[in-house]
Homo-oligomer: A and B are copies of this chain.
Amino acid sequence: MVVDTSLSEADVDRLFHALADSTRRDIVRRSLSVEASISELALAYDMSFAAVQKHVAVLEEAGLVTKHPRGRERIVRGNAAAIGTAKALLDKYEEIWRSRIDRLDALLAQHTTEDTSCQSPQSRRTSPRSR
């Protein structure tokens, strides 16, 4: 699944920062499962309503949650797409790692070739994955 990752560095900062708090992660979990008002969410935590309200605001800024007015309430709904975005970002890092391994393998293959026979420019195309 390709996710359009047109995020500024500041956006990514906000995304991971929002995830870097256990209360906020729990709010994400809950609101991904069952949408709830802020006051309903606040009942679950040992802190003031205003504190929970701030956490929801941080999550909303990061795109991990959306708020929808319903009467006097604000219904909080988790946004799975933002989770996908975060995963896509991490995929890029794993890709960097994998290409590094490939480069190392290619280098190793080249050296091995140089040791056994001599310069044969076509080295192994499919480098075996190492550890």
Contact = CB atoms under 8 A, between A and B. Distances in A.
Contact of A78 (B28, B83, B97): B97
**A9, A20, A80: residue with the most chain B Cβ atoms closer than 10 Å:** A20
Given A33-B96, A83-B97, A87-B90, A16 B20 contact: yes
B94 A84 contact: yes
A87 B83 contact: no
Interface in A29-78: 29, 32-34, 78
B90 A33 contact: no
B16 A100 contact: no
Interface string A1-30: 000000001101111110111100100110
A106 interface: no
B13 A21 contact: yes
A114 interface: no
Contacts of A91: 87
Given A9-B22, A14-B20, A17-B20, 10 more contacts: A12-B22, A12-B25, A15-B20, A16-B19, A29-B93, A32-B96, A78-B93, A83-B90, A84-B94, A86-B90
